[in-house]
Structure formats: C-alpha cells, structure tokens
Structure 1
Amino acid sequence: MNRLMLVAVPIALLTGGCVARVVAPAPRVVIEPAAPPPAVVVTPQPVYVTPPPQPVYITPQPVIVQPPVLVAPPRVVIVPGTQVYTVPTASYNVFVYGGHYYSYHHGTWFHAPRHGAAWTPVAIAQVPAPVRAVPVKHWRIPPGQEKKLEKAERDRDDDCRGHGKKGKC
C-alpha cells in the first residue's frame, strides 16, 4: 500500500492544484428592431369655454309711499279765492276739487275718486290746475319740506326715548 500511496499522493497533489476552468462568453441575444407600429392620428375634441357671466344691472324701482286712505269723509275747509278744499286735520296734504281727492305725498301726486278709495299715483298733468295753484301756506307739508319734517320727527322721537313713562314726551 505504500507504493500505491506513493503514486496516488503525488498525483493527487499535482492534479489538485490545477483546476482548469473554462469560461465561455455569455450568449448574446440580438433582437432585430421590428417595424414601428403605424401612427394613430386622433382628432382632438373641441374645447368649449363658456364666456364669463355678464353683470346684470337692475335699476331700482322707486318706492312709492301712498298716503293713508281716508276712511270717513273728512272735514274740509275751502282755500280762499279758489274752488279747492283742504283737509286741515290730515297729517299730510289732501285737496278736494270737483268731488275728487288729490294728495301730494313724498314727491308724487295721488288721486282718489272718493274718500275710502285707494290712492293712485298720477302724472302732474292729470292734477287739475286749481289744485296745483293752491298757495303754499295752505299746504300741510309744503313741497320740498317732507325730508326736513321727517328728520325733525325722527330727532323728536330720539329725544323721547326712555322718557315716555316720565311724562316728558
């Protein structure tokens, strides 16, 4: 066995250090470029843009404040030198002419066919000339003075707040 060992050991030693490795290059895969796909042309959808909203200008309608309705026939007084009557007990301008009632209230002329009827705004041309010619001293509230009187009433009301029960107003 020694002999065998003598032969086997050197062969093993000699061949053990010689390991041969074969390295092959990695296989290459070559892909041929295919023809490009046909171009697809898509027509874009139209874009609709709504215009911005336009401002709407509304002219405010004037507020017409009608005089109070005369429920019962009022006591009237004739304006000297005319055929027009006034109602001195009313808190606003009331004129009676030809059986019809006229009132100038907050810058607007009104007409009522009789007492108890609703007032209707009328153009100044529809007011009889004798009514328009009544001297200012016979008007309850002279034209153009309504705002001053309203302000005076507001001021008076402001001064009386809290004094009603004390007898001061």
Structure 2
Amino acid sequence: MRGDGDGWVFDADGSRYWGRHGAAGLLLFTSSETSAALILLQHRAVWSHQGGTWALPGGARDSHESAVDTATREADEEAGIADAELTVHAELVTHRAPSGWTYTTVIAEVAAPLATTANMESVELRWVTTDEVDGLALHPAFAASWPELRTQLLALAGA
C-alpha cells in the first residue's frame, strides 16, 4: 500500500530512522568530459531530518517495494528523474541499525546529466563531480557511506 512505510523506527538507544520498512536512495551518475563521474546530490530542506545537508534523493520504503522501486520512486518525486531514463548497476546496504532497519543505496547511470525539478524536500539539486562531494556539508549517514560508494562508483564509471 502506497505510503505504509512512512513513519519512524526507534532503536533502544533512542536513534530514529525514517521508514517503517527501511529506506533507499538513488546514487545517480553520468560520465563527464572533465572527471570520471558526475553525481546528482540533493540539498535537503531545513525542516527535514538532518536538514540543510547534502545527500541522495531517497526516502521511506513501502511494504510492497524493493529497494530499487523505492529509490527510483523517490528520485522521481524529489528530483523529477523518470526511472525509464536510468540503468541500475548495483544496490548496497549502506546502513544497518540494531533494530534491523536498513538504508539501501541504489547506484544507477544515465547517459548525460538530466534536468531536475526539485520538490519541497529540496533546497537545491546539483550535479557535482566526485571530487566535490567531500567539500559539501553531507548528511552524516551519507558521509559515512561515501568512501565505499565512491569506490563502487569509480569502478562502475571505469575510472
């Protein structure tokens, strides 16, 4: 049922995670003439959890969805990226909480940087080089997973 994943999961230590069935996000990349890859990042609205930080378009997983379904739906909702335009290469669980909650990052490719349309959850959407990512104020969970994701991304992009 659409939306049945909306809600918080709490760990015994008080940590909270959005998505009753976990969550997923889309690491969308394309090749660039000047760098190995460009990726799409979302500057999260201040009112959102960990607002004001940069991360991937993503969100709560509904009970009937795969991680890929969630990541592509959220990218469409938050950035106007249609799933027909991308090729999925990998999915990695990039965070696992003691409660069993997981965040899965789906890595997908497009032929060229796509135009984006931000919804109310985004201050800005921006295509950045992999070298620019570390210079941004990253969402803490994305920052923790970025080294592994970057390695996977560069291998896929052929760098």
- Give yes or no for TM over 0.5: no
TM-score by length of 2: 0.22
* TM-score w.r.t. length of structure 1: 0.21
Larger strand share, 1 or 2: 2
Q: Which has the larger radius of gyration?
A: 1
- Higher RCO (C-alpha under 8 Å, 6+ residues apart): 2
